[in-house]
A and B are shown apart, each in its own frame.
Chain A
Amino acid sequence: MATAIKDIQEDPRELALQEKVATGYQLEDVEEMTDRYRDVLVNTIHIAADLEVVTLPTYSPAIKTSPTLEDKISIAAACQDELGHAQMMYRILEDFGYDTHSFLFDRDPEEWRTFQMLEFPHEDYIESVVSMCYGDRAGYITTVDLEENCSYAPFARSLRKVNYEETFHVAHGERWTKFFWNQSEGSRKRVQEMVDFYFPLCAAWFGMPDNLKTRTDQLSYRIRGASNDEMRQKWLSRIVPYSEGVGIKVPAHFDEEQGKFVLDYEAPIYLDEEKRKWDYDRQITWKEQLKVWKKGSQHKVPSIARVMSEEWGKDLW
């Protein structure tokens, strides 16, 4: 096996393409791709598409519980945006032999590639706006990186609209998180509770630390421009000053000595899924963390099954 991997790494066509994209060259055509480029690109878009779609069952409970008609509309509009983003990704994936209908409706929900941050159905509107404020900000940082750096031009171009719309979700989240922080003692408590829950989920959105990562094809083929740690740093540099400005407590701060933002806890940490509570003092191993991510939360399968079955029933169609 080891020899096989070495062979691919030393394949002159693979190396030539890596050098070409390193100079800023963008591909327009599937025919220009090498096998390994194609694999890492398709994998990236595949996960991005799954992540767009799982926002629907995650956000939808908040449509029912949000306080005013405007809030309901804004949540529904965000869901519509996310599905639109998925549609564009499916359109690209079809050029690589994917069948959108079976991809969406025939796949076993357990096979979906989702991230923990988007797996917990929102219990109320405050959870939605905190999730938009911290989570959509994290998502936005990854999609902006892809738009700016992805060497497959059609994907990079398609993300212009995606990022344009994500800015609305983030702005919506920041505005209302601040509003509920100042509205009442009860709403402030709920905001803090939700930030305590979402912060480690969002910090983990960017994946493992760079020094532990073994697969680096996304960077060597310039599918992405920034590494996990660079993107996490970018997220912290936005989210920590925002939170401090509002008064929300977050488990991270700017470290003067290192000249960068650092987490106040040692990731990965243990999550009590039932209580939605992190034990900031209980560190788990990366092996355990990867197992948790791979399995998904208890909500993952029911949520995706709900998208596939459409709760309204077949009469809708």
Chain B
Amino acid sequence: MATKFKGKKKIDQKRERGGKEPKYYEVFARKNSDSELSHVGSVEAPNDELAQVRAWFIYDQHKWREMCVIPLDSIITVTEEGKSAKIKMG
């Protein structure tokens, strides 16, 4: 039985996702200048700018010294040659 309720949020797919296909970014960060730049997680975003914002807000467990995002498409696999990169979450 479907529940009816008012005021349901309308999703503007184009605005919030940039299109029908989601685009993924991997997030890398280091805590301080002495620590390694490590992979900390993964975000979905329609463009580079929103990827930066989402990465900063979702992975906020530290006051990172440095953080960057890399489109998943740009990662070239070495151990799994020929395959696209796998999810790198966490």
Interface on A for B, CB 8 Å cutoff? 28-30, 80, 84, 87-88, 90-92, 94-95, 100-101, 105, 108-110, 154-161, 164-165, 301, 305, 308-310, 313-314, 317
| List of B residues within 8 angstroms of A30 by Cβ | 86
Total A-B residue contacts, Cβ distance less than 8 Å: 85
Q: Which of A91, A110, A309 has the most CB of B within 10 A?
A: A91
User: Among A92, A110, A165, A301, which residue has its beta carbon within 8 angstroms of that of B89?
Assistant: A92
Min Cβ gap B46→A in Å is 12
Per-residue contact bits, chain B 26-45, to A (CB 8 Å; 1 contact, 0 not): 00000000000000111110
Prevailing SS type, chain A contact patch: helix
- Given A91-B42, A305-B5, list of 8 further CB < 8 A pairs? A87-B54, A94-B44, A110-B1, A154-B88, A156-B90, A158-B90, A308-B5, A309-B7
Q: A84-B58, A100-B44 are in contact. Are A157 and B89 (CB under 8 A)?
A: yes
| List of A residues within 8 angstroms of B9 by Cβ | 105, 308-310, 314, 317
Interface contact A314-B7, CB-CB below 8 Å? yes
| List of A residues within 8 angstroms of B90 by Cβ | 88, 154, 156-161
User: How many chain-B residues does the 8 Å CB contact rule pick out?
Assistant: 33
Give me 23 A-to-B residue pairs in the complex whose CB atoms sit less than 8 angstroms apart, sorted by A's number: A84-B59, A84-B60, A87-B43, A88-B41, A91-B43, A91-B44, A92-B87, A92-B89, A94-B44, A105-B9, A154-B90, A155-B89, A156-B90, A157-B90, A158-B89, A161-B90, A305-B3, A309-B5, A309-B6, A309-B7, A309-B8, A313-B7, A314-B10
| List of A residues within 8 angstroms of B87 by Cβ | 91-92, 95, 154
Complex CA–CA separation, A156 to B89 (angstroms)? 9
| List of B residues within 8 angstroms of A310 by Cβ | 7, 9
- Contact of B82 with A by CB under 8 A: no
Interface contact B86-A28, CB-CB below 8 Å? yes
Min Cβ gap A141→B in Å is 20
| List of A residues within 8 angstroms of B3 by Cβ | 108-110, 301, 305
Q: A91-B43, A105-B11, A309-B7 are in contact. Are A84 and B89 (CB under 8 A)?
A: no
